[in-house]
Structure 1
Amino acid sequence: MSMNPEEDEIMFSNDNEEEAATRPPSPSRSVVPGWKLLLVDDDSSVHDVTTLALKNFEFNGRPLHFLHAYSAAEALTLLQQEQDIALALIDVVMETDHAGLDLVRHIRHDLQNRTTRLVLRTGQPGQAPERSIIRDYDINDYKEKTELSSQKLYTTVMAGLRSYQDIMALEANRQGLHRVINASRELFRPQHLPEFIQGVLQQLVAVLYLDKNSLFVHTGCFAMECDDEQNRITAATGDYEAYMNRDPHDVFDDDIINAIDACLQHKHDILTEHHYTAYFSPANGREGVLYLTTPHRLSNIDYELVKLFCHNASIAYQNIVLREEVEQTQSEIVYMLGEAIERRSKETGNHVYRVAAYSELLARLVGLDEQLCRRVLIAAPLHDFGKIGIPDAILHKPGKLDSEEWTIMQRHAEIGGELLGRSKRDAIRLAATIARQHHEKWNGKGYPLGLKSEEIELTARITALADVFDALQSKRCYKEPWSIDKTMELITREAGEHFDPKLVQLLKENLALFIAVRERYPDPD
């Protein structure tokens, strides 16, 4: 996806506007959460004085949210319940002379909490911890209560929060990078594009210390399925995650909609006090917008960093979009070939779509990995590819084939396997295996090789069941369609004979899902 280097991104297009009163409130209106500060001290007056001294404290536009514990045990309970405590001010001497130090050990060792910043306080100067404890348990500071003036307390808390913010940003950046790498590595997974964008959002939030609320929206047409322009959120973080796959015009207030529309109209990014809206235009023609809520206006340095980051991310995104297009084009050609073969046999073209969908569904139910399931979806439509070498007179014969005709008809499995087997592409080679083996039977009485049970490739066993399940319910030149009950009666009877019994059981247990597939791809009247 090509990005305008002077702009940045989220994605939408124009739809009929709804009345603002009918839209849910925008996530951007949410209250900025405070930094969680845990006070651990058995003296209530220390809590009161500390709270008073820091009541107007703010860091990066966020106030403090105080949590109070009057013993090490209380503090440990709070730390187990609250996952995002930024800073803890801990008294050393409470229930015991070393209760505070024991609490620190629990935090770092038992809870494996490496992010919360820890400051030890004591009213007894002789209780200072050893240097090894300060080092090993990542204690930020040690203060005597008598030396903690209001200014020094302010400085201590500010330093602790800065350190916590840096640690959390690094962790968020690491997680975002991990997701981007995974998405880039597994480009043929159907989810890879949203995962990639989600990772980009995480990285951007981490780099700029932004609010978690950000979203990414696609505009334009849904691939090959419709020509009407569509708007949908395809990746999101924070409060916006609840609006995934929704049209932004349906869920956001006028402030966000106006920012998005202006960004798309002028084709450049827009920076306001609390929002950043960035424009980009991918290689496939779909416009995009990235929308971020920010606790404060981006500085010039941050703004330039955003543009540079988004420009670099767009290079990787463009590659993903183009590879998706190639995959979709290949799939479309495969389906067209399968449909052409079925039409030559005077069978409904939707047969190949249903068999492919049934096969992918069975592959998932049996536990095949994502990549193989995707290949099954591409390969299954070519299961009868070899019929291209069978004479029309045999293909179209309404009555029963004689022994010579049946021998010729059986050759289509070998023909398909041979033709498709010339390819070096994994999906097509899988199609060759399916074409060659999908008429083998579990009991070894199938053709062309007489393979039995697990000698038959699992993908071929899957497609064989899917093919018969659909063929029995479809009209053919030699028969009328069967009911679902009659179809399942035969398939159940053939479990362990014609079909893999485990696959038959999965079909029976999930029959409603298979019926839904048929309803999605009905035969023409």
Structure 2
Amino acid sequence: MTTDQDRLVFVNDPAAEQEDAAAHLPWKVMVIDDDNDVHSLTHMVLRDYQFEGRRLEFLFGHSGQEAKRLMEENPDTAVLLLDVVMEREEAGLEAVDYIRNRLGNRFVRIILRTGQPGRAPEQKVITSYDINDYKEKTELTSQKLMTAVTASLRAYRDLKIIEENRRGLEKIILATQSLFEMQSLKKLATGILIQLVALLELEEGALYVHPAGFAATDNNESLTLYAGTGLYEELIGKTVQETSNQQVIALVERALQRQESFCEENVYVGYFRTRNGSLNLLFLQGSKPLNALDKKLIAIFSNNVSLAFDNAYANQEMLETQQELTFSLGAAVDSHSQQAEFHLRRVAESARLLARLAGLSDEEAELIWLAAPLHDLGKIAIPDTILTKPGRLSPEEWAIMQAHTDVGARLLKNNKQRVLQAGAIIAGMHHEQWDGKGYPNGLAGEEIPIFARITSLVDVFDTLSHDRHYEKSWKINTIIDFITQNRATLFDPTLVDLFLLHLPEFLQIQTSLPNPAPHEPSN
């Protein structure tokens, strides 16, 4: 839904009221006839002619073959005045067929002119060939020629406008297909900027000035850049004021004061206030002035952008809710330990990182981030006497402990939510081993789902890195030796290699989410 705050305002600018530079180019008129006198007469009659302030540019040829070549070289020809009988009796008609069917040019308006109508009867030609007018040379007076050319130019102009609108709307459809996927705000904003550049074809002819833009959001009463293209890519994290560009600052402040989007010359400033009150501002500067069609496309696209921002914030709130739910469920398994929640948070972050390193999609990485904290959910059915036992478990106790994988999978698998379905896979299979000696099903290698293989590795790493009620933490070198020695036995060897290659990043997660000191509140 578009609110008053979302409406788009176009700045009154004399230059913007005119057509852009391309609109002042002459109309191309092609004259194909084997009689030079026809060329001279046509040029004399039309040389001072103008349509909508644009003069004519003439292209001359003497044969059907030249008509084909010139149309290949000049597909933007508006009107073709074409003789029928030239090097062959049907040379002109063959050229029409070539232009329409081989070149696929449906825009040029074709006026057939013939001095021998008996050889190409009007009814047969009009019915069989895609032409727009048929004139006998004897009837084509100066006034009738001007009238025919005017009607053809008007039709050509209207067809091009329809085509430009169709292409623009097609681009909007393609551009908005990805806007409503579940994604981060930064990814969404970056995608919008890229789509705007493509939509407006701002890179076309940009020899010196490349399109540049940014997305900013309010942060402690200042606008902070969180996505950028072009020269603004290096300014992410800075405020708009820190860009040091007074013209940009002035345009942004105008959007904030008016609380509305606007276009001015080659600049678009988008103002979007979401339903939850968050402010997002888009700034895009191209290399050419925005014409009337550009502004129309921006207005349509902006409505979708507004909805996409609302959708992104709703998705973000949903993800945060799902995350807190999975952390709460996972932490409830071990209510005796303050450290349980922090273990789950580290496992979630590490699983997401390893998933990305393994080439999983952003969507899959977010899914394992949400689901990994559920890996030990089945322990909720294991007696506390076993969970908190300080020494080694007896064979009977170990059999009971192993059952937690089946319990966790059963608790989650019948839910239709993707997060809980992923959680069921992880809970049921994170103790399977690469060599097939794990439990509960003795799966081996890639029979084990990738989510379970990832969670298994990061869970062991985090568990060994911190004190437990039955054992002290291991030194980092000892942990790395253990993981290396169990490459291709306990753990997926490819995942181990990725983990070790990026070890500093996993250690940073450990540092950023340390266990709380004893008796220290967890929140």
The question of whether the paired residues in 2 share the 8 Å contact of 1:3 and 1:282 is answered with: no
Corresponding position: 1:518 with 2:506: yes
Corresponding position: 1:416 with 2:412: no
Taking the TM superposition and a 5 Å limit, the aligned residue runs for 1:83-482 are 85=76, 87=78, 89=80, 91-92=82-83, 98=90, 101-112=93-104, 114=106, 116-120=107-111, 122=113, 124=115, 126=117, 139-141=131-133, 149=145, 153-177=149-173, 179-180=175-176, 182-183=177-178, 187-189=181-183, 193=188, 218-220=215-217, 229-231=223-225, 257-268=249-260, 279-288=271-280, 294-295=290-291, 313=304, 316-317=307-308, 320-333=311-324, 336-337=327-328, 340=331, 343-344=339-340, 347=343, 349-362=345-358, 364=360, 374-386=366-378, 403=395, 406-421=398-413, 423-452=415-444, 456-464=448-456, 467=459, 470-471=461-462, 477-482=472-477
Partner SS state of residue 22, structure 2: coil
The question of whether the paired residues in 2 share the 8 Å contact of 1:9 and 1:279 is answered with: no
What is the TM-score normalised by the length of structure 1?
A: 0.64
d(CA) in 1 for partners of 2:329 and 2:56? Answer: 63
**Which structure has the higher relative contact order (CA within 8 Å, separation 6+)?**
1
d(CA) in 2 for partners of 1:88 and 1:333? Answer: 67
d(CA) in 2 for partners of 1:77 and 1:337? Answer: 68
**Could you tell which deviates more after superposition, 282-291 or 166-175?**
282-291
d(CA) in 1 for partners of 2:7 and 2:231? Answer: 26
Q: Which residue of 2 aligns with 1:32?
A: 21
Supply the AA of the counterpart residue of 1:518.
F
In the TM superposition, residue 245 of structure 1 has moved relative to its aligned partner by: 9.5
In the TM superposition, residue 333 of structure 1 has moved relative to its aligned partner by: 1.6
d(CA) in 2 for partners of 1:460 and 1:263? Answer: 49
Q: Which residue of 1 aligns with 2:4?
A: 4
- Provide closer, same or farther for how the CA distance between residues 288 and 426 of structure 1 changes in structure 2, counting only shifts above 3 A: closer
Partner SS state of residue 339, structure 2: helix
The question of whether the paired residues in 2 share the 8 Å contact of 1:270 and 1:277 is answered with: yes
d(CA) in 1 for partners of 2:104 and 2:430? Answer: 53
In the TM superposition, residue 321 of structure 1 has moved relative to its aligned partner by: 3.8
Partner SS state of residue 317, structure 2: helix
The question of whether the paired residues in 2 share the 8 Å contact of 1:4 and 1:311 is answered with: no
Partner SS state of residue 231, structure 1: strand
d(CA) in 1 for partners of 2:175 and 2:364? Answer: 21
The question of whether the paired residues in 1 share the 8 Å contact of 2:487 and 2:496 is answered with: no
d(CA) in 2 for partners of 1:50 and 1:484? Answer: 91
Partner SS state of residue 119, structure 1: strand
What is the TM-score normalised by the length of structure 2?
A: 0.64
- Provide closer, same or farther for how the CA distance between residues 485 and 200 of structure 1 changes in structure 2, counting only shifts above 3 A: closer
d(CA) in 1 for partners of 2:52 and 2:503? Answer: 59
Supply the AA of the counterpart residue of 1:163.
L
The question of whether the paired residues in 1 share the 8 Å contact of 2:217 and 2:279 is answered with: yes
d(CA) in 2 for partners of 1:521 and 1:132? Answer: 79
- Provide closer, same or farther for how the CA distance between residues 129 and 446 of structure 1 changes in structure 2, counting only shifts above 3 A: farther
- Provide closer, same or farther for how the CA distance between residues 371 and 99 of structure 1 changes in structure 2, counting only shifts above 3 A: farther
The question of whether the paired residues in 2 share the 8 Å contact of 1:41 and 1:69 is answered with: yes
In the TM superposition, residue 402 of structure 1 has moved relative to its aligned partner by: 5.8
Count of aligned positions: 467
In the TM superposition, residue 457 of structure 1 has moved relative to its aligned partner by: 4.0
d(CA) in 2 for partners of 1:407 and 1:104? Answer: 84
The question of whether the paired residues in 2 share the 8 Å contact of 1:216 and 1:289 is answered with: no
Q: Which residue of 2 aligns with 1:74?
A: 69
Kindly report the root-mean-square deviation, in angstroms, between the aligned alpha carbons of the 2 structures. 5.8
- Provide closer, same or farther for how the CA distance between residues 418 and 39 of structure 1 changes in structure 2, counting only shifts above 3 A: same
The question of whether the paired residues in 2 share the 8 Å contact of 1:270 and 1:276 is answered with: yes
d(CA) in 1 for partners of 2:41 and 2:502? Answer: 63
d(CA) in 1 for partners of 2:400 and 2:224? Answer: 50
In the TM superposition, residue 353 of structure 1 has moved relative to its aligned partner by: 0.2
**Could you tell which deviates more after superposition, 241-250 or 312-321?**
241-250
The question of whether the paired residues in 2 share the 8 Å contact of 1:273 and 1:296 is answered with: no
Q: Which residue of 2 aligns with 1:27?
A: none
Structure 1: any 5+ residue segments left out of the alignment? 11-29, 207-212, 235-239
d(CA) in 1 for partners of 2:303 and 2:325? Answer: 34
In the TM superposition, residue 431 of structure 1 has moved relative to its aligned partner by: 0.8
